[in-house]
Amino acid sequence: MNRFSCIFVILLVLFISMSSIAEENPSQTPFGQAAETQTSAPASTAEEYKFDISEIEKKPYHVGGYVEFRPVLFVLDRDAALYKLTFYNRHEGKTVEAYNGKLQLEGSLEKGIARLFVKANFDLQYSYLGWEHSKPKSMIYEGYLSLKPSSSLSFNFGKQTLLWGKGYAFNPVAFVSRPKDPDDPELALEGFIMASADYIKSFSGPLKTLSITPVILPVYDHINDDFGKINKVNVAGKIYFLLYDTDIDLIGLTGGSKTNRFGIDFSRNITTNLEIHGEFAFINNQKNRVIDSQGNISESKFDAKSYLLGIRYLTPWDTTVIFEYYRNGTGFTHLEMKDYFTFIDRGYDAFLLNGNDSMLRKAASVTEGNYGRPNAMQDYLYLRVTQKEPFNILYFTPGITTIMNLDDGSFQISPELLYTGFTNWEFRLKGTALVGQKGTDFGEKPSDYRVELRVRYYF
Amino acid sequence: MKKSLICLFALLIAVPAYAVDGNQLLKQIDRNLNPESYEMYRKIINVEPSGRKMEYTFFSVKKGIDKIAGVFLAPASEKGRGTLRLGDNMWLYVPNVGKPIRITSLQSVIGGVFNNADILNLDYTAEYDAEKVEEKENEYFLQAKAKTKTVAYDRLNLWADKSKKVPIKIECLTGAGMLIKTLYFKEVKDFGGGIVRPSVIETDSPLYKGYKSIMIFAKIKQRDFKDEVFTLTFMPNIESLRK
């Protein structure tokens, strides 16, 4: 806890310094208040600033990235099913801490029509489990060769992250990428090894742009083997239209590693400050492994329909609202989830009684990538509200995000403070409360609260 | 008869002095500021009341009246962020997010007094109709109204240098006449290729008292691009257009 006291002292100093900036500007005018007309030009300051042409000289190579330090404090919920599953054989007290470090490195080399790009990610964590770091295989997030014979045609070969879909927090049509973490949707994701191309054609008239993106994604032992069934060559594709000022994508995936799936998405500005977007995915023969409260595992097969509808709205006083409804057709029902949690509770009771953890190990076997995936149930609401530069504090963006499970009424709520006022530095303080009754999605998460500070330095 | 001819002659002399075509003047101002299709580099500086500043370097390309795309080259935290504007549609590409998202003209991708419409600015004639022009001794005073409700500012009050036909000052107003910001055009410079225009735009706003943003221009050059450059699919590659 002493380490967290230090963090709070650092934050206090940061916000005092920010407040002093605000105090230097006492005559702040809130947006919307009648403003007086200014007729005189300010004293010229342009001559103080130089724009050296050498700053914009193009180099054939680029190296950059960021380093990150992210300490997290978890306040545990010792009655929650997932706490019991994770900590049943440990005694960690009421709180646990995790100290996360990250180095994300990017490099590119360009010659003629060819460009080589690599993005590597190295995670290091110290927690109650001791030191852990990224597996070498997962450290290269992207690494591909790009050939661009013309501005309308390009080919990419290698490990790439193709993020399809228009949703901010959820993307049911993102068939060839790993799932996003809705708690932090802007985090970079590890890609898959594939060959892809982009062909773009522009038109005048209602159809302004057409682009076609075919993808070949092989899955073999040691090549994309976490994508799906091995020894298959999958084919995916996206056709994009900008039609009547609306972005539309038609998306498909076939080939056997995953069942066939097709989707459509759209995005459009209704007014300058209101955007609507949506996605629809049809997944053929989706399989779910379901465990009942007695521990019997069964497999269900069905055609799933997932969809998302969302808006992004900017108010006149610079508040951005992102609101999404997500129907996860591949998700578990409230009853199925309750059975899973009940089985964990029974397993934990058995462990306390006789030290036998076989039921808990059985529950763990259906958790990874199944019950344990993010947003594993069926109906979710996502709401994120951020206020840009309140009280005229430049580069300061407070926000609040909530994800609610509509099936069981549980939710998580995360207020945050983001400050980017020092060149290449980013500070984010975020708290999360997980609220829900027994047997609910967020109520059974291992912690009740968590607080994290994220400090990033870009270079 | 003689008197009538004198009157007619006097009218012929007098009328041109009051018959400056506002839209024609706006068009001339547009062409004097930039070629219709170009590439350019800008440095955008946000200055806080304390004097502390943040600098951004931005490369942008434009084609025709309603297509503009750009990418941030510096600082490192913003590098690779791409923007695209097709008429009223605007998108932002953040490398980590990996896909373009729609943004609005009133937002600012970098914070500060300049918003997206200022950074991805189209020709004035594409967005505004001149309503009234007054000719003064050394300058024109032109009032313009937005063609549609989707334009960032409902009205402009523009003062232009009479001989060079480039802006000196522009007030950006709401429909009700509330001042949103003022742009000051300074330091006229010869960029080559017949482009002689202010190389610095300063802006301040009563909504951000004490704050100021500055745009410094460099290497403005006429250049033609294919339409495919101005598409969502091309956004991750805008930087490849740099020579």
pLDDT in tens, A162-178: 999 999 999 999 999 99
Local confidence band at A94 (pLDDT 50, 70, 90 cut-offs): very high
Residue A16 at interface with chain B, using a CB cutoff of 8 Å? no
Distance, CA of A40 to CA of A287 (rounded, Å): 69
Query: Could you report the per-residue pLDDT of A239-285, keeping only the tens digit for each?
Result: 999 999 999 999 999 999 999 999 999 999 888 788 999 999 999 99
Total count of domains within chain B: 1
- Say what angle helices A334-354 and A358-365 make with each other, to 10 degrees: 150
CA distance to partner chain A, nearest, from residue B15 (Å): 30
What are the Cα distances from residue A439, in Å, to A336, A409, A436?
10, 11, 8
Residue A89 at interface with chain B, using a CB cutoff of 8 Å? no
Residue B237, H or E segment: none
Residue B7 lies in a domain: no
Q: Which of A193-202, A279-288, B149-158 has the lowest mean pLDDT?
A: B149-158
CB B200 to CB A164 under 8 A? no
pLDDT for position A23: 37
Distance, CA of A316 to CA of B207 (rounded, Å): 12
CB A163 to CB B97 under 8 A? yes
- CB nearest A240 (choices: B48, B105, B233): B233
Which residues from A are below 8 Å from B105, CB to CB? 272
Q: Which of A262, A255, A243 is nearest to A192 (CA)?
A: A255
Residue B85 lies in a domain: yes
The complex's ipTM works out to: 0.79
pLDDT for position B210: 85
Residue B127, H or E segment: helix B124-127
**For range B146-170, the mean pLDDT:** 92
| Residue A139 neighbours by CB under 8 Å, 6+ apart | A120, A121, A122
Residue B15 lies in a domain: no
pLDDT for position A15: 42
- Proportion of chain A above pLDDT 70, given as a percent: 89
Q: In chain A, what are the domain boundaries?
A: 62-458
> Does the domain spanning A62-458 belong to CATH 2.40.160.100?
yes
Segments forming the whole domain that contains residue B68: 20-241
Specify whether the CB–CB gap between B204 and B212 falls below 8 A. Answer: yes
Specify whether the CB–CB gap between A227 and A217 falls below 8 A. Answer: yes
- CB nearest B45 (choices: A49, A420, A459): A49
Residue B4 lies in a domain: no
Q: Which of B183, B215, B223, B221 is nearest to B199 (CA)?
A: B215
Residue B170 lies in a domain: yes
pLDDT for position A34: 31
Q: Which residue has the tokens 């914070």?
A: B111
Closest residue, chain B, to A18 (C-alpha): B50
Distance, CA of B195 to CA of A202 (rounded, Å): 29
Residue B201 lies in a domain: yes
A-B contacts (CB, under 8 Å): 201
> Which domain CATH number covers B151?
2.50.20.10
